[in-house]
């Protein structure tokens, strides 16, 4: 068969998605065996759009997001289905490859920074570590970048103090 390209209609425009979740399920190992807390969730986030997950407490919003980031512990959680972040399949990816993607193509703002940041390190050092890992900057330059990020995001820490100094612990941050 010969196709006349000049008269063929253009192919349908494919909408690019930054996030594609397809039949995602998550089970946790508990005293009562494997318990399913996310059951067959599918959703797409097209480029340039914002999608909100709404549901009652305990309905699985956070676990869905953690699974999408590849942040659930491989031993205690069983994740099935598919999650594509900026084209990368996250389910089943080794930790090293996941950490190349996290902080570069995808990030998560956790519900409770006091609990999600490590109290053993300052806030500035924890931001700087991500910059060092992905942008290959020196310790000094990555800390300067951490301050820049913190200032541009207008974080509460910045309003309370001029910069996330090395002495700012996560407990010193407000989370509103
Ligand atoms: N590590 C875990 N082991 C066992 N069950 C867990 C674990 N983490 C979460 N769950 C359970 O998974 C379910 C979904 O929890 P999740 O935190 O995703 O809810 P949520 O929709 O984010 O709630 P909220 O609105 O309160 O933040 C809950 O029943 C929770 O108890
Ligand atoms: Mg939650």
Looking up tokens 């407990």 gives 171
User: Could you report the per-residue pLDDT of 101-118, keeping only the tens digit for each?
Assistant: 998 889 888 877 677 788
Distance from the alpha carbon of residue 62 to the mean position of ligand 1, in angstroms: 7
The domain spans of the chain are 17-103, 114-172
Distance from the alpha carbon of residue 63 to the mean position of ligand 1, in angstroms: 6
Question: Quick check: CB of 121 below 6 Å from ligand 1?
Answer: no
Q: Is the pLDDT of residue 6 over 90?
A: no
- 17-103 architecture in CATH? 3-Layer(aba) Sandwich (3.40)
Which residue of 30, 38, 61, 115 sits with most ligand 1 atoms within 8 Å of its CB, as the best mutation to test the pocket? 61
What pTM was computed for the model?
Answer: 0.78
Phi and psi at residue 99, to the nearest 5°? -75, -15
Question: Quick check: CB of 30 below 6 Å from ligand 1?
Answer: yes
Q: How far is CA 94 from the centre of its chain?
A: 16
Q: Is the pLDDT of residue 97 over 80?
A: yes
Q: Is the pLDDT of residue 74 over 80?
A: yes
User: Could you report the per-residue pLDDT of 129-172, keeping only the tens digit for each?
Assistant: 888 988 889 999 998 988 888 888 776 444 334 445 555 666 66
């Amino acid at each position: 068969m010969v196709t006349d390209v000049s008269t063929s209609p253009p192919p349908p425009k494919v909408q690019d998605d930054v996030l594609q979740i397809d039949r995602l399920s998550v089970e946790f190992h508990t005293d009562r065996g494997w318990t399913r807390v996310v059951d067959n969730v599918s959703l797409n986030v097209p480029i340039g759009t914002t999608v909100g997950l709404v549901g009652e407490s305990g309905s699985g919003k956070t676990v869905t997001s953690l699974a999408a980031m590849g942040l659930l512990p491989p031993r205690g959680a069983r994740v099935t289905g598919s999650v594509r972040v900026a084209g990368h399949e996250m389910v089943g990816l080794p930790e090293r490859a996941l950490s190349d993607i996290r902080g570069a193509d995808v990030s998560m703002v956790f519900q409770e920074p006091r609990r999600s940041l490590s109290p053993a390190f300052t806030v500035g050092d924890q931001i700087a570590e991500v910059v060092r890992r992905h942008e290959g900057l020196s310790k000094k330059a990555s800390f300067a970048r951490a301050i820049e990020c913190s200032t541009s995001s207008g974080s509460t820490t910045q309003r309370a103090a001029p910069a996330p100094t090395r002495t700012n612990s996560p407990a010193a941050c407000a989370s509103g």
